[in-house]
Chain A
Amino acid sequence: MFRLAVKDLAKRFGHRKLFRDLSFDLSTGDSLAITGSNGSGKSTLVMTLLGLQRPSRGSVTYYHDDVELSESDRRQSVAFVSPYFNLYDHLTAEENLTFFATVSGHTITGKEINRTLEQVGLEGRGADLVGEFSSGMKQRLKYALAVVSNPDFLFLDEPTSNLDNEGKKIVFDLVESVRSDTVIVIATNEEQEYRLAQEQYRLG
């Protein structure tokens, strides 16, 4: 059982407070949607949860069976999809997946790569350079990267941006398929997206 524990979390930029006294606990199978107007700090909160930004106060801790995960173990357990999270344009889809899986501590086989690309509707495109992909295809590839190593914590920021209806359906199906084994956090303003989560927290 994995758990994300957030305690008294606060973030401010100068005098501007984005959020404060934020506390919650999410365990495997739980999902939380963070909503709020533009500039309310949804993406900043997700970045802070991921350790990519320092909180002004409070703590974010990852657990596995009540044992705190080290930074290295946390890297191995998380996946993130965001418009700010880019892949290498000069590498192929397969090379991107293999590279990020390797540096995050996973070993993936060619079969797993093909199956994941098929899952996101990119079958047969594994040997193509990512720079030749449309923005929607790049977004699908980010989902392939997110699920290829079976994450324990899945963070989605604006999960369906750049996606067509078929792409959105793929994402919703993917989220459903990993829901029972994963802690899911979604930052969004889209009703269709925050309905993917069991709980909601509104910022601002």
Chain B
Amino acid sequence: MPKSSTGWVSKAMAVYAKDLRLELRSRYALNAILMFAITTLAVVSFSLGQSGLSPKLLAALFWVVIFFSAMSGLAQVFIREEESGTALALRLLADPDPVYIGKLLFNFSLLTIMTIIVTPLFFIFTDAPVENALTFVPVLILGVIGLSGATTLVAAIISRASVKGALFAVLSFPILMPLLMSLVSASESVFDGGGLVSISSELQFLTAYAVVMITASVMLFKFVWQD
């Protein structure tokens, strides 16, 4: 076979670095996500006031903000390729698996940046209890992995549709429903003062969800991307 070869990891990292570079130069997805998150947080804060919110309501509000913010930006990773006409080149020259992993890493990075910015703002705006903030970290990490794992494949599915935005939320919702319910349940326990032990079953579910979702996505992506 001809010529020198770059490995699977190098190819995935090239896709990731390319998307990161494009985002840093255009800031399209990050701006959309952050604007949505901060606007929603401000509306929640002004309409509900700062105190007296139950742990359950706080947990639900937090993940509603994260979910809809993610919906506003994560699909861009594939929509941008289709709309700029670069998807054809990528389909022809790149193997599907590194493309998926590169895009997944990019969406994970985007969601991580958003979560790092939004979470402290949420605690400030809603006066949520901060005593258990460290216990909240694994919930956040697993939530971000699960969200990006599931939405990256859906983003590839909807990127060639005509009503992309609405379809993204509609298709993602049933897939993300179990994840969101578990995240809300774990976050409620954390806001209620519970430690890691009290959310161990949720953490196990979130880990399993992330593993299953990313494995299934890697296996299915080839068919979604090439057909």
From 150 to 171 in chain A, residues with beta carbon under 8 angstroms from any chain B beta carbon are 150, 152
- Where chain B touches its partner, the secondary structure class is helix
CA distance A64 to B92 in the complex (A): 19
From 99 to 155 in chain A, residues with beta carbon under 8 angstroms from any chain B beta carbon are 99-100, 102-107, 149-150, 152
Does the CB pair A72–B4 fall under 8 Å?
no
Does the CB pair A104–B88 fall under 8 Å?
no
- Proximity bits, B13-25, A CB within 8 Å = 1, else 0: 0110010011001
* One of B63-71, B93-101, B106-114, B154-162 at the interface: B93-101
Instruction: Name the CB-closest residue of A to B11.
Output: A103
B174 contacts partner chain A, Cβ-Cβ < 8 Å: no
Does the CB pair A78–B92 fall under 8 Å?
yes
Does the CB pair A75–B4 fall under 8 Å?
no
Instruction: Name the CB-closest residue of B to A155.
Output: B92
A85 contacts partner chain B, Cβ-Cβ < 8 Å: yes
Does the CB pair A75–B94 fall under 8 Å?
yes
Does the CB pair B89–A100 fall under 8 Å?
yes
Residue from the list B5, B22, B91 in contact with A76, Cβ < 8 A = B5
CA distance A100 to B86 in the complex (A): 11
CA distance A73 to B22 in the complex (A): 28
* One of A16-24, A30-38, A87-95, A184-192 at the interface: A87-95
A71 contacts partner chain B, Cβ-Cβ < 8 Å: yes
Does the CB pair A90–B5 fall under 8 Å?
no
Does the CB pair B94–A149 fall under 8 Å?
no
Does the CB pair A104–B93 fall under 8 Å?
yes
Does the CB pair A77–B93 fall under 8 Å?
no
Min CB distance A88 to B, Å, is 6
- Proximity bits, A30-65, B CB within 8 Å = 1, else 0: 000000000000000000001110100000000010
Min CB distance B90 to A, Å, is 7
Min CB distance B158 to A, Å, is 20
| Chain A residues positioned under 8 Å from B10 (CB to CB) | 102
Given contacts A75-B94, A90-B25, A102-B11, 19 further A-B contacts (CB under 8 A): A50-B92, A77-B2, A85-B89, A86-B86, A90-B22, A95-B21, A99-B18, A100-B89, A102-B6, A102-B10, A103-B15, A103-B93, A103-B98, A105-B3, A106-B5, A106-B6, A107-B5, A150-B3, A152-B2
Please list the 9 inter-chain residue pairs (A to B) with the smallest Cβ-Cβ separation, ordered nearest first: A86-B85, A103-B94, A104-B93, A102-B14, A90-B25, A105-B5, A107-B4, A103-B11, A90-B22
22 contacts between A and B (CB under 8 A): A50-B92, A52-B92, A75-B92, A80-B89, A85-B88, A85-B92, A86-B85, A88-B22, A90-B26, A91-B18, A91-B21, A91-B22, A103-B11, A103-B93, A103-B99, A104-B93, A105-B3, A105-B11, A106-B3, A106-B4, A107-B4, A149-B3
